[in-house]
């Protein structure tokens, strides 16, 4: 397809705006009934409340989970990857979770090139599997891990070592004990089949291995030391005991160094922050460091939090930390995590092919964009938005600006995060006259919501509400247009609920906290002096979802949306 085929046609009724369009994504801002555990309805949110008043013409709800964002079923909560993919692509694409399910269903995965590449090393030496131990379905899923292990054992792999990152973020805190016990039981069942399969190392996902967008390479370094070198501050013979003991070790919620006893005011460690550990044998030797000749696979399907580890395995020249030893292994990802960097070169399942996105069409139609967030989410409005592509389509037209996130701090300790800086940069970009589109992501409702701290999440929501107001004021000033939406729910429900009654589930007289995303819809609203009178949301779409935002943005920029996209939300 030549560049001219990406040239968008003029919209039949909306003229190309002279002033910028502001697109704001409130990460993890869903819609749910007023409730004491709804951090959004508890927060002071005069701006977002006032937008709702323009319902149904300029405020509506969008489906942000399950099949609307390419996930296997409507029981799957939304997440940033699939949410931003849908927003930016204007299409619903079958996502990693669904593709891996399919590849494992009849064992096709084992016929693909990726497995064929690993197989000789796995059979002759050891197969290492690294990833998130969870049934969250956001980065990985336990049933997929187990099918992979079983399939490898059936094909003659005799030695397997699993390196587990504990969740508590896409799953309820505390469930890592249950998952580890299940994994132990399942691995033991292979003993009789001549396969020695054991857990070799692990740690909480927020301090071990699963950093993203290079926010803090120390996280990956800790993982490398535990998984590859077999070195960690904590050594245990049994992985279930490891988790139980480390969870009970009471720290201040941050990292292993800061461990302090309960009497000194420490809190029990959450699954997300379990210090790294290695499993050792009776002689205190690690049971599964990674050696030359071994096969290594990452079993997460989602890219953002395993790109850095993939680089550490794959790249000869690597300067982010001292690897001490870089074993010569056969390495594969569950998917190829970055199509442009071809990272990793080998993968077990081909990733979703997301092409012809709004970003590509707009860049090739001469539209200039400023995209900004802080480190924790910068890739959401660039990489995920553009169909898992890190580089701009056109360097001259697209500016990606990252505000460094705080490091080593659970975000409930600073719920405002970098929102003030993002707002300031957004306003400057709107007023600069340099950009047709200004795209921002505010991580707060999501990042603070994941900590399970209700009060801090309420504060996060109030903060971003006032940021949105400041930005809308700036749009009013310059005469532009704005669209505000979200990628999935999180902050609007902070408790586990009984599926039938909707009542909070209780334990020891206290509600069970929900740290994960939700299945709730998200709002979308638009306005501004640049929006032609009479432009409103349509009401005839059966199930409007995040993907419908993509063509809407194209329309608001004065173009007809291309045929490969789902329908626009506009009635104009």
**In this structure, what token pair is assigned to residue 215?**
């926010």
Which partner from the list ligand 3PG, Mn ion, none does 247 bind, CB cut-off 5 to 8 Å by kind?
none
80 binds Mn ion (CB under 5 A): yes
What b/e sequence results for 411-431 when a residue is b if at least 16 CB atoms lie within 10 Å of its CB, and e otherwise? bbeebbbbbeebbebbbebbe
141 binds ligand 3PG (CB under 6 A): no
Q: Residue holding tokens 């790294």?
A: 276
Nearer to Mn ion among residue 27 and residue 271 (C-beta): 27
The number of residues making up the chain comes to 572
Binding mask 76-105 for ligand 3PG (x = CB under 6 A): ---xxx------------------------
**Known catalytic residue: 80?**
yes
Check whether 512 is labelled as a binding-site residue.
no
**Residue of 543, 562, 547 whose CA lies nearest to 94:** 547
Residue 506 dihedral angles phi and psi, to the nearest 5°: -110, 150
Nearer to ligand 3PG among residue 28 and residue 359 (C-beta): 28
Q: How far is CA 406 from the centre of its chain?
A: 18
Nearer to ligand 3PG among residue 27 and residue 338 (C-beta): 27
Which partner from the list ligand 3PG, Mn ion, none does 300 bind, CB cut-off 5 to 8 Å by kind?
none
173 binds ligand 3PG (CB under 6 A): no
Gap between the Cα atoms of 327 and 244, Å rounded:
31
**In this structure, what token pair is assigned to residue 525?**
């609203």
138 binds ligand 3PG (CB under 6 A): yes
Check whether 450 is labelled as a binding-site residue.
yes
**Residue of 489, 418, 502 whose CA lies nearest to 449:** 489
Nearer to ligand 3PG among residue 128 and residue 517 (C-beta): 517
Q: How far is the CB of 548 from ligand 3PG (least distance, A)?
A: 20
Q: Is 393 exposed, middle or buried (0-12, 13-18, 19+ CB in 10 A)?
A: middle
Q: Is 533 exposed, middle or buried (0-12, 13-18, 19+ CB in 10 A)?
A: exposed
Which partner from the list ligand 3PG, Mn ion, none does 311 bind, CB cut-off 5 to 8 Å by kind?
none
Site for ligand 3PG in 290-309 (CB under 6 A): 305
Orientation angle between helical segments 142-154 and 96-105, nearest 10 degrees: 30
Taking the CA of residue 247 as centre, how many other CA atoms within 13 Å lie in the half-sphere pointing to its CB? 18
Whether 354 and 89 have beta carbons less than 8 Å apart is answered as: yes
Q: How far is the CB of 169 from Mn ion (least distance, A)?
A: 7
Site for ligand 3PG in 142-171 (CB under 6 A): 169-170
Q: How far is the CB of 509 from Mn ion (least distance, A)?
A: 29
Binding mask 246-285 for ligand 3PG (x = CB under 6 A): ----------------------------------------
Q: How far is the CB of 303 from ligand 3PG (least distance, A)?
A: 11
Nearer to ligand 3PG among residue 25 and residue 279 (C-beta): 25
Site for ligand 3PG in 362-401 (CB under 6 A): none
412 binds Mn ion (CB under 5 A): no
Whether 216 and 302 have beta carbons less than 8 Å apart is answered as: no
Q: Which residues pair with 232 in a beta bridge?
A: none
Nearer to ligand 3PG among residue 28 and residue 528 (C-beta): 28
What b/e sequence results for 190-205 when a residue is b if at least 16 CB atoms lie within 10 Å of its CB, and e otherwise? beeeebebbbbbbbbb
Stretch that binds ligand 3PG, among 74-82, 140-148, 152-160, 260-268 (CB under 6 A): 74-82
63 binds ligand 3PG (CB under 6 A): no
**Residue of 569, 457, 474 whose CA lies nearest to 47:** 474
- How does strand 277-279 pair with strand 330-333? unpaired
Q: How far is the CB of 384 from Mn ion (least distance, A)?
A: 9
Nearer to ligand 3PG among residue 119 and residue 308 (C-beta): 308
Three-state DSSP state, 163: strand
- How does strand 59-62 pair with strand 522-527? antiparallel
Residue nearest to ligand 3PG (CB): 80
The site that binds Mn ion (CB under 5 A) totals a number of residues, namely 4
**Residue of 273, 236, 235 whose CA lies nearest to 251:** 273
Whether 61 and 31 have beta carbons less than 8 Å apart is answered as: yes
Gap between the Cα atoms of 271 and 164, Å rounded:
12
Binding mask 437-456 for ligand 3PG (x = CB under 6 A): ---------x----------
**In this structure, what token pair is assigned to residue 115?**
């497995």
Binding mask 10-49 for ligand 3PG (x = CB under 6 A): -----------------xx---------------------
Check whether 303 is labelled as a binding-site residue.
yes
Gap between the Cα atoms of 488 and 297, Å rounded:
29
Return all residues near 447 (Cβ < 8 A) that are at least 6 apart. Answer: 27, 28, 376, 377, 411, 417, 460
Which partner from the list ligand 3PG, Mn ion, none does 221 bind, CB cut-off 5 to 8 Å by kind?
none
Check whether 169 is labelled as a binding-site residue.
yes
> Which one of the listed residues 4, 13, 41, 80 is annotated catalytic?
80
Gap between the Cα atoms of 133 and 346, Å rounded:
22
Site for Mn ion in 471-490 (CB under 5 A): 487
Gap between the Cα atoms of 272 and 173, Å rounded:
8
The site that binds ligand 3PG (CB under 6 A) totals a number of residues, namely 11
Q: How far is the CB of 27 from ligand 3PG (least distance, A)?
A: 6
E strand intervals along 32-147: 59-62, 127-133
Which partner from the list ligand 3PG, Mn ion, none does 515 bind, CB cut-off 5 to 8 Å by kind?
none
Residues making up the annotated binding site for Mn(2+) are: 27, 80, 446, 450, 487-488, 517
Residues making up the annotated binding site are: 27, 80, 139, 169-170, 205, 212, 302-305, 377, 446, 450, 487-488, 517
Interface contacts to ligand 3PG, rule CB under 6 A: 27-28, 79-81, 138-139, 169-170, 305, 446
Active site residues: 80
Residues making up the annotated binding site for substrate are: 139, 169-170, 205, 212, 302-305, 377
Interface contacts to Mn ion, rule CB under 5 A: 27, 80, 446, 487
């Amino acid at each position: 397809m030549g560049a001219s085929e990406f040239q968008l046609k003029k919209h039949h009724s909306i003229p190309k705006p002279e002033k910028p369009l502001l697109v704001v994504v409130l990460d993890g801002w869903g819609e749910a009934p007023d409730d004491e555990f709804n951090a959004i309805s508890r927060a002071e949110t005069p701006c977002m409340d006032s937008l709702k008043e323009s319902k149904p013409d300029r405020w509506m709800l969008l489906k942000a989970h399950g099949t609307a964002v390419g996930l296997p079923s409507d029981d799957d909560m939304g997440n940033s990857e699939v949410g931003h993919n849908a927003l930016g692509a204007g299409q619903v694409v079958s996502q990693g979770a669904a593709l891996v399910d399919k590849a494992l269903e009849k064992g096709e995965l084992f016929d693909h090139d990726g497995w064929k590449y690993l197989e000789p090393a796995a059979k002759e030496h050891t197969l290492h599997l690294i990833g998130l131990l969870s049934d969250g379905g956001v980065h990985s899923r336990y049933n997929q891990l187990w099918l992979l292990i079983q399939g490898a054992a059936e094909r003659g792999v005799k030695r397997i070592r699993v390196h587990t990152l504990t969740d508590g973020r896409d799953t309820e805190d505390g469930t890592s004990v249950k998952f580890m016990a299940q994994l132990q039981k399942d691995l033991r069942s292979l003993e009789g089949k001549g396969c020695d399969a054991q857990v070799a190392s692990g740690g909480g996902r927020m301090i071990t291995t699963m950093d993203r967008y290079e926010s803090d390479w120390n996280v990956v370094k800790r993982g490398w030391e535990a998984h590859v070198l077999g070195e960690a501050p904590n050594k245990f013979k049994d992985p279930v005991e490891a988790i139980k003991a480390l969870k009970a070790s009471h720290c201040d919620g941050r990292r292993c160094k800061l461990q302090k006893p309960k009497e000194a005011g420490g809190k029990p460690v959450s699954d997300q922050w379990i210090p790294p550990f290695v499993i050792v044998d009776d002689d205190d030797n690690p049971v599964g460091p990674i050696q030359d000749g071994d096969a290594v696979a990452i079993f997460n399907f989602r890219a953002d939090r395993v790109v850095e580890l993939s680089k550490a395995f794959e790249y000869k020249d690597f300067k982010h930390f001292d690897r001490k030893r870089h074993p010569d292994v056969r390495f594969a990802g569950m998917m190829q995590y970055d199509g442009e960097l071809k990272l990793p070169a080998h993968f077990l399942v081909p990733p979703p092919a997301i092409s012809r996105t709004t970003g590509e069409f707009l860049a090739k139609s001469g539209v200039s964009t400023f995209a900004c967030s802080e480190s924790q989410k910068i890739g959401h409005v660039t990489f995920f938005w553009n169909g898992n592509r890190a580089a701009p389509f056109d360097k001259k037209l697209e500016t990606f600006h990252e505000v460094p996130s705080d490091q080593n701090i659970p975000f409930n300790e600073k719920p405002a995060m970098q929102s003030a800086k993002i707002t300031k940069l957004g306003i400057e970009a709107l007023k600069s006259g340099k950009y047709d589109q200004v795209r921002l992501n505010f991580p707060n409702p999501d990042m603070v919501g994941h900590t399970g701290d209700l009060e801090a999440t309420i504060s996060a929501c109030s903060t971003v509400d006032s940021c949105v107001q400041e930005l809308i004021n700036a749009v009013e000033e310059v005469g532009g247009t704005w669209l505000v939406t979200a990628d999935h729910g999180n902050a609007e429900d902070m408790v586990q609920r009984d599926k039938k009654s909707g009542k909070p589930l209780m334990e020891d007289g206290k509600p069970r906290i929900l740290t994960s995303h939700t299945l709730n819809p998200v709002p979308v609203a638009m306005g501004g002096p640049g929006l032609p009178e009479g432009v409103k949301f349509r009401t005839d779409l059966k199930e409007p979802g995040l993907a419908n935002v993509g063509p809407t943005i194209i329309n608001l920029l004065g173009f007809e949306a291309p045929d490969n996209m789902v329908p626009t939300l506009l009635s104009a």
